[in-house]
Structure 1
Amino acid sequence: MATILAADIGGTSSRFGLFTIESGGTLSLERTDIFETADAESFSDLVSRVSELDIDIDNVDTAVFAVPGAVNRGVFVSMPNVTWNIDLEKSSNKFYQEKLTLINDFKAQAYATRTEAIRDAKKIKTGQAVEDATVAVVGAGTGLGHAAVTMGAPGRITAVASEMGHIAFSFIGEEEEAFHAFLRKKLSIPYGYGDLVVTGPGLSHIHEFLTGERLEPKEVSERAEPRVMEWFSRFYGRAARHYALAVVAQGGVYIAGGVAAKNPSFVDCDAFRNEFVLSPTYGYLLEKIPVWLNRNEKSGLWGAGYLGAQKLDLVS
């Protein structure tokens, strides 16, 4: 039996989990704990709190931490909404040097689709997944995350991270183009992108554009103004369609992230579904792709744990 330390580090909170895995490849989550990220003065300070859990990190077989942002060579990341960076190469700590790997948080969400983390995922669009085809994960929170998981060679699962939330978003029709102009002017940017549209902050931008009123994302959700909700759901469906086509996700699409987890009606609605299949060329393909909503808050841990097991050659 091997042990794996996993973490899902976010701008608000950081979740840690200890997994065990048998030689047959059965991954089991033994315990989880949460710390406030902002309470830590550095990455080392955050990791030191794991000792409070009576976990000897030097004796775990491997560790994988999921982090927001683009990860460089598995050892460095500059995280949005966190005041410190992570740079494993600058530390002489044996645990950092020999056992710890960093991965993008949505790459972990992609690996999670190979685990029991998706056991209770709700199908929100019908379709037929193609066996061993690429699976996409899209999720709105503070940012818009994307990742995909596919079969590599020879028969090994491979997850691919993406920063698609930072490419130009598509706007259709005069009203949407007016919203685009509103974003560019308000934020002094050359173009609007997914992180500004299909996210919590995006929800506030849409509400302000349509009503003239500035509210926090939570207040917009509570207000539930029908037109605002329809616009956001339509944009969410478009973002999911963009990525499904980008990676040809015939294995299906999973919706993750805090926005839909807290407000399932944003994606479990006709505005989302109709936009998802809207394509002059590949509508027939999109019609066949199933979409699930995964509200499991521990998915990032499961994905990190899966990669840890893969590093130990205990899963494919």
Structure 2
Amino acid sequence: MATVLAADIGGTSSRFGQFTVGADGTLAMERTVRFPTAESGSFAALVERLAEEGIDTGAADAAVFAVPGAVRRGVYVSMPNVSWDIDLDALDGPFFKRTLMLINDFKAQALATRTPAVADAMPVKDGLAVEGGVVAVIGAGTGLGHAAVALDAPGRVAAIPAEMGHVAFSFYGEAEEAFHAFLRTRLGVPYAYGDVVVSGPGLSLIHEYLVGESLEPAGVAEQGNPQVLEWFSRFYGRAARHYALAVVAQGGVFVAGGVAAKNPALVDNDVFRNEFIISPTYGDLLATIPIWLNCNEESGLWGAAYMAAQRLDLVS
């Protein structure tokens, strides 16, 4: 039996979970705690709060923290929407030097698909998942996250994060190109990218363009303007299609992230499904790919814990 510590650190809140890993690789969540990220002035201060909750970091056999942004060497990340960076090389102590590893938050979401975290995922689109096929995860929240998980020789699970939320988004037709022009002017950017289109802020921008009113994402969803929701669903289906094709996700696609978790109707509709399968060359392949919506807010913890168990060679 091993003990692992997992975390999912975000701009608003940070979740921590203590897990045990059985000799057969079975993960069991023992307890969780959650803190507002902004209440801590540094990463070290955030970790120190664990002791206040009776969590001994020194007792962890391995620890993996999921963080937003591109992780470098498993020890450094500059996170969007957080006022401090994380640099394990600059911190003293065996926990930071030997026990802890950082991974991208959507890498954790991808690994979570190998755990009980997705047991209750809601089917959004029918299909037939290919056993051993690549599984894609995409999620709109503050930005647009992507990752994929695949079997690597000799049967070990490998998760690959992507920063496709920063790739130029595709717009089709005069109406969408006019919206693209609005975004370039409104945001002062040379081109619009996934993070500003398929995200909570993107939902607000679509509403502002079509309705002429500035609202927070929750307010847009509550108001429920049919045209706004249709545009967002179409863009979300397009983003999911692009990533499914990029990684040939024959194992299926999981939609994660707070936007759809709070508003499942944004992806559980025919606009999203029909947009997903549009392709001059691979429409038949896309039609076979199943899609699920994962609303489990603790799935990032499960994915990070799975990675920690991998480090201990307790899971594949």
Q: TM-score, structure 2 length as denominator?
A: 0.99
Distance across 1 between alignment mates of 2:55 and 2:91:
21
Equivalent residue letter for 2:16: F
Equivalent residue, structure 1, for 2:150: 150
User: CA separation in 1, counterparts of 2:224 and 2:9?
Assistant: 30
Q: CA deviation at 1:23?
A: 0.6
Q: Distance in 2 between matches of 1:77 and 1:83?
A: 12
* Partner AA of 2:114 in structure 1: R
Task: Name the amino acid aligned to 2:6.
Answer: A
Equivalent pairs counted in the alignment come to 316
Q: How well do the aligned residues superpose, as a CA RMSD in angstroms?
A: 0.5
Post-superposition CA distance 1:86-119 (Å, at most 9, x none) = 0000112211000000000000000000000000
Corresponding residue of 1:36: 36
Percent sequence identity over matched residues?
Answer: 68
The offset of 1:75, in angstroms, is: 0.1
Residue 262 of structure 2 is matched in structure 1 by 262
Distance 2:311 2:90 in 1: 23
Deviations along 1:251-303, one digit per CA (max 9) or x if unpaired, are 00000000000000000000100000011110000000000000000000000
SS of the residue 1:204 aligns to: helix
| Letter in structure 2 aligned against 1:84 | W
1 CA distance for matches of 2:138 and 2:251?
14
Aligned-pair distance for 1:33?
A: 0.7
SS across alignment from 1:268: coil
1:59 Cα offset (Å): 1.6
Letter in 1 for 2:57: I
Partner Cα separation in structure 2 for residue 142 and residue 171 of structure 1 = 21
Tell me, in whole angstroms, the C-alpha distance in 1 between the residues paired with 2:57 and 2:195.
35
The 5 Å alignment of 1:1-316 reads 1-316=1-316
Letter in 2 for 1:67: V
Q: Distance in 1 between matches of 2:312 and 2:260?
A: 34
User: What is the alpha-carbon distance in structure 1 between the residues aligned to residue 93 and residue 7 of structure 2?
Assistant: 18
**TM superposition shift of 1:218:** 1.1
Q: Which stretch of structure 1 is more off in the superposition, 214-223 or 6-15?
A: 214-223
Per the alignment, in what secondary structure is the counterpart of residue 313 of structure 1? Answer: coil
CA distance in 2, matches of 1:281, 1:93: 54
AA of the residue aligned to 2:63: A
For 1:127 and 1:305, how far apart are their aligned partners in 2? 29
SS at structure 1 position matched to 2:8: strand
Structure 1 residue 49 displacement after superposition: 0.5
- Structure 1: which 5+ runs fail to align? none
The whole-number CA distance in structure 1 between the counterparts of 2:204 and 2:59 is 46
Cα deviation, residue 241, structure 1: 0.3
Q: Which amino acid aligns with 2:35?
A: F
TM-fit CA distance, 1:235: 0.3
Question: How far, CA to CA, are the matches of 1:122 and 1:110 in structure 2?
Answer: 16
For normalisation by structure 1, the TM-score amounts to: 0.99
> Distance between the aligned counterparts of 1:93 and 1:269, measured in 2?
50
Structure 2: stretches of 5+ with no match in the other structure: none
Q: Which amino acid aligns with 2:315?
A: V
Q: CA deviation at 1:53?
A: 1.9
